[in-house]
Structure 1
Amino acid sequence: MIWGRVKTAGGTVVSGEIHDGFLTPGAWPANMASDDTAGQAGRIALDAATLLPPCAPGKFIGLWNNYHAAAEKNGWAAPDHPLWFLKPASSVAGQGAKVVIPPAAGRVIFEGELGIVIGQRCHNATEEQAQAAIFGYTCINDLTSLDVLNAEPSFPQWSRAKGFDGFGVIGPVIATGLDWRELVVKVTVNGRERQSYPASDMILPPVEIVRQLSFDMTLEPGDVIAVGTSLGARPVKPGDNVAVSIDGIGAVEVTLCDGATDR
């Protein structure tokens, strides 16, 4: 099943199931979205609405060093616990957004990733509880400023480097019922494939990520976890069109622009 959020022509934000070009309001897990689904009658044609990020995460968690291929190439030890950082809610962008690269960001790279979307409250979870807490999966582009990340030798600035407005691209939808082991994450820049790797190469799989993170913080419905990227992340610049795609989910595509361009 496919789930998403739209803004109607009248300005109402609605969540629900997407099928055959329409969104049917409602049926989300409890507390997953605070959108105005109540009283919204009938289906909404997607071509008459604006597709939004599929959820509004209270917490947007990113992982580093979670793929064997990248760890082996860079000489990194495989972690026993997720190595995580937080991206602010203001970093969230969705399908078709124009993402400004501010002057302070300097060099920016894309990072195509699989995203876990939490569907129920999860705290100190067992493996079974962690599995039940995973609502579905989405595509992530974890844009990162390399210049900011490495500007201060004594303190790598993970959240600042990844926290500029629009640097947390989510979408286009949330898909349920997928086997993450069969998924391949791909990124194209201006139509040219620049990254492609199997999700099955993950060091810590989704259930273990959720289980262990639930001991660090309470996970809530709508929270998003970007499970990390693998080889192939590269610099991008204003004017580039960047799309992250995963079969079964679709492609989330944004255009990068400089500070002089309106988003």
Structure 2
Amino acid sequence: MTLWVRYAHDGVEGFGTLEGEEIAVHAGEFFATPGPTGERLPRAAVRLLPPVRPGAFIGLWNNFHAAAAKQGNAIPEFPLYFLKNPRCVIGPGEAIRPPAAYDGKVLYEGELGIVIGQRVTAVDEAAAEAAIFGYTAVNDVTALDLLTADASFPQWARAKGCDSFGPIGPAIATGFDWRAARVTVALNGRVRQDYPLEDMILPPARIVSLVSREMTLHPGDVIACGTSLGALPMRPGMQVAVTIEGIGVLENPYAPSS
């Protein structure tokens, strides 16, 4: 398994592979044929950036059996998805902030993120699997009161696309076995979500295949696979940490609106 990261160092952005406490710097096209430069940087000397800047940022709803059973939802045959504003993406350590005029509930939702590595349109599951570059952790932050503010129209894009509502990271893991992994979310160290990824209703390759029937996917696009039980509101001052073993810990402070 390889962990790919993007970073800022001395005012310059770069990317490479995380190897223990060092980053092996790479050059070239991230999703094509990058190669090591031979330079190595201490992990402590860089600031990690979002490992990808997606052109399309897709999120799924109702994609875990346990949550569907508790909420009385039917099992979907096709991904129930929405689009998050790709400019809402932030990296590890950056603050999540609600809009200044918003004083309602803001939920964390820890999720597995699929990172697309190849351009695909209307592909079968085998080709979809091959098009997955790797996996990352996502916090699909949601302004719950905006979602339901208008009884005639659920406002998914508005509620989930606010500035800073898309933490991604800390790395993209290639060669990652999602079936053996769990997602945990801790608030100030207290675990609030803990669920197995094998409980997914639609697995990653099927998600990619089905979405690609309607939307061409490009390298760098991200699909968040949905969340399970335990998504709750945050309070200002809390640290929210999404952990997926093998990918790492995506930790962000939840700050008051500025």
Same fold (TM over 0.5): yes
Is contact 1:5-1:15 (8 Å) kept? Answer: yes
CA distance in 2, matches of 1:105, 1:50: 31
**Selected match of 2:141 from 137, 140, 143:** 143
Question: Are 2:74 and 1:77 aligned?
Answer: yes
> Is the 8 Å Cα contact of residues 59 and 83 (structure 2) preserved in structure 1?
yes
Equivalent residue runs for 1:108-147 within 5 Å: 108-147=106-145
Aligned with 1:151: secondary structure?
coil
**Which residue does the alignment assign to 1:86?**
83
Aligned residue in 2 for 1:163: 161
For 2:214 and 2:43, how far apart are their aligned partners in 1? 38
The aligned amino acid for 2:166 is G
Alignment equivalent of 2:218, drawn from 198, 217, 220: 220
Structure 1 residues 165 and 40: CA distance shift in structure 2, 3 A: farther
In the other structure, the counterpart of 2:202 is 204
Separation in structure 2 between the aligned mates of residue 129 and residue 105 of structure 1, nearest angstrom: 44
The answer on whether the counterparts of 1:25 and 1:43 sit within 8 Å (CA) in structure 2 is: no
Shift of 1:110: 0.6
RMSD of the alignment, in Å? 1.7
- 1:30–1:221 contact (8 Å) kept in structure 2: no
What is the rounded CA distance, in whole Å, between the counterparts of 2:195 and 2:43 in structure 1? 30
Cα distance in 2 for partners of 1:70, 1:235 equals 17
Distance 1:77 1:94, change over 3 A: same
Q: Report deviation, 1:104.
A: 2.1
Task: State the alpha-carbon separation in 2 of the partners of residues 30 and 177 from structure 1.
Answer: 16
User: Where does the alignment leave 5 or more consecutive residues of structure 2 unmatched?
Assistant: none
Query: Contact 2:91–2:168 (CA<8 Å) still a contact in 1?
Result: yes
Q: Report the CA distance between 1:30 and its aligned residue.
A: 2.3
The alpha-carbon deviation at position 21 of structure 1 amounts to 2.1
Q: Distance in 2 between matches of 1:175 and 1:40?
A: 20
Partner of residue 4, structure 1: 5
Structure 1 pair 39–186 and aligned structure 2 pair: CA distance change class (3 A): closer
Contact 2:27-2:36 within 8 A present in 1 as well: no
- Runs of 4+ with deviation above 4 angstroms: 37-41
Is 2:44 the partner of 1:42? no
Equivalent position of 2:228 in the other structure: 230
| Shift of residue 190, structure 1, vs aligned partner | 0.5
SS of structure 2 residue aligned to 1:76: coil
Counterpart mapping for 1:61-76 below 5 A: 61-76=58-73
For structure 1, list consecutive stretches of 5 or more residues without a partner in the other structure: 32-36
Which residue is equivalent to 2:183? 185
In the superposition, the TM-score normalised over structure 1's length comes to: 0.93
Distance of 2:167 and 2:77 partners within structure 1: 27
Question: What SS is found at the alignment partner of 2:175?
Answer: coil
Match of 1:29 in 2: 31
Q: Which residue of 1 aligns with 2:52?
A: 55
1:16 aligns with 2:13: no
Q: d(CA) in 2 for partners of 1:89 and 1:242?
A: 21
Could you tell me which amino acid in structure 2 is paired with residue 7 of structure 1?
A
SS at match of 1:43: strand
CA distance in 2 between counterparts of 1:231 and 1:155 reads 25
Look up the equivalent residue of 1:29 and give its one-letter code: F
What is the CA–CA distance in structure 1 between the aligned matches of 2:32 and 2:212, rounded to whole Å? Answer: 19
- The answer to whether the Cα contact below 8 Å between 1:105 and 1:161 also exists between their aligned partners in 2 is no
CA pair 222-211 structure 1, distance change in 2 beyond 3 A: same
Aligned partners of 2:196, 2:125: CA distance in 1, in Å?
A: 23
What is the identity, as a one-letter code, of the residue corresponding to 1:13?
E
Change in 2 beyond 3 A, CA 1:57/1:74? same
Give deviations 1:49-80, integer Å, cap 9, x for gaps: 11001011111100000000111111111111
Letter in 1 for 2:31: P
The offset of 1:41, in angstroms, is 6.2
